[in-house]
Amino acid sequence: MSLLVIGLSHHTAPLSVLEGLAESPDRAHDIATAILSSATATEVVVVSTCNRLEVYAEVPAFHPAVAAIGEALAMAAGTRPEGLPCGMDVHPTDPAEELAVRAEGIADHLYVRYDDGAVAHTFTVACGLDSMAVGEAQILGQMRDALALAQQTGRAGESLNSLFQHALRVGKRAHSETDIDQHSLSLVQMGLEEAEKVLGDLRSRRAAVIGAGAMSGLAVATASRSGLTDLTVVNRTPARAERLADSVGGRARPWAALDDVIAESDLVITCTGAVGHVITEDLLVRTVTARDGRPQVFIDLALPRDVAPTDTWAQDLPGVRVIDLEELGERLAGRADLQQVDRVGELVTAEVAEYLTRRLEKRVAPTVAALRSRAAAVVAAELDRLNQRLPALDESTRSEVGRAVHRIVEKLLHTPTTRVKEFAVDANGPDYAAALRELFDLEPTDVANVSSPPKRGA
């Protein structure tokens, strides 16, 4: 069994592709169901955020799993799979090996990470090094939620549970032991910087936040810290809008007042998570007319986008500036503190090595346990035979003989069982666990019995 990660993110796919995938609210469930039904994976966790969609899977065979996962992703994107390109980053065993499987439409944007590379990618994502805003901590909660959903639905077993739990610990270490989050600009901060270039000092401007989810909460908090005091929150659920507005001394307005709020606001930050454009071209035209040419900036943090794409109307509405996730990602590139990035990178490297070592040691643990179990059974049988042959032996002598036999067996087993764990760290070395099983005639059932928890009632 091996780990496999296949996905696409803002690094490999344009906003239009990510937007198309985001339009299906049940995409994670549908993708996981399709993959497991193909019987090419035993465990699946799908991480689905506004700028990434990744499948983490425990698979018995590489090529069938890549084909099934690629097809599931392509179907989620609404495309019919045909074939992945030769240049895709796939190196399961041979660096020169190239792969062709079914998947058209998103194929050019997919990346594949296998086994050790999959572990390194998971830890890198958890630390925020792969995020659009390098060092952001929100991905930790998103990965935790993805794991929880997979656990609830029985899609995450021992392997992915171990991987994600370790990744979450690594992510926490990155934020507690380095300053990666303090030195990386958030999407909202970057958007406010761009808005200030158009509007000037934002402290004298009216602002509105559309939506009341996690990203909206971040937007409200960041805007308030930046000195914006005239802040309005609009959401379809009034109570949530009121709570968010009250947290910064702002005000809440009903959804029915959306047109008026937008027309009154110099800065609009929107992140509703709605399918379809909340701020349409018609609404923008009405807004421009009502504002009589005063400049206005929209920061669109939603995927799918809340604001209608600008390619059809931007020239007709020169006073309106729209900043979306794609532009923010481009502007954030290279803005992180390189020293902190290097520190987190070193942390990830060390943690990956530790995880891989533990995983390799764990693979031989059932064989070692089976060997010790076999030895214990032999000792017990021989001591029982001794009791039958020498029934008059006094209890003190009998106990001393038993302890001596146990010590002898323990000393004989100590070196081979210790060495087999040490040798297991070399993934490309001989299979010493198999050698132990052969030398001591351990049956597969012996190893399986100490690998699996006992059944209820057993």
pLDDT given at position 81 = 40
Query: Do 54 and 90 lie in a common domain?
Result: yes
Active-site residue, from 50, 86, 127, 271 = 50
The number of angstroms, rounded, from the C-alpha of 297 to the middle of its chain's C-alpha atoms is 32
Residues 21 and 161 in one domain: yes
Q: Three-state DSSP class for 133?
A: coil
Contacts of 251 (CB under 8 A, 6+ apart): 231, 232, 233, 245
CATH number at residue 201: 3.40.50.720
For 220, the domain range is: 187-332
Residues 169 and 206 in one domain: no
What is the chain's Cα-based Rg?
A: 29
Query: What is residue 23's predicted lDDT score, i.e. its pLDDT?
Result: 58
0.85 cut: is pTM over it?
no
Same domain as 373, residue 284: no
Question: Domain total for the chain?
Answer: 3
Whether residue 125 lies inside any domain: the answer is: yes
> Do residue 326 and residue 430 come from a single domain?
no
Whether the CB-CB separation of 56 and 45 falls below 8 Å is answered with yes
Are the C-beta atoms of residues 262 and 268 closer than 8 Å to each other? yes
Burial class (CB in 10 A: 0-12, 13-18, 19+), 342: exposed
By the 8 A CB rule, do 361 and 184 touch? Answer: no
Indicate if 260 and 165 belong to the same structural domain.
no
Distance CA 59, CA 365 (A): 21
127 is annotated as an active-site residue: no
Compute the average pLDDT of residues 163-190. 86
For residue 182, being part of any structural domain is answered with no
CATH of the domain at 91: 3.30.460.30
Q: Residue 192's pLDDT is what?
A: 93
Whether residues 156 and 199 fall in one domain: no
- 110 neighbors 61 (Cβ within 8 angstroms): no
Angle at 136 between CA 30 and CA 107, to 5 degrees: 40
Residue 345 pLDDT > 50: yes
Average the pLDDT over 27-38 and give the result. 90
- 91 belongs to a structural domain: yes
Q: Please check whether residue 242 is in contact with residue 249, taking contact to mean a CB–CB distance below 8 angstroms.
A: no
227: left (phi over 0), alpha (psi -120 to 50) or beta: left
Residue 144 has pLDDT above 90, yes or no: yes
pLDDT of amino acid 352:
92
- Give backbone dihedrals phi and psi of 255, rounded to 5 degrees, phi first: -60, -30
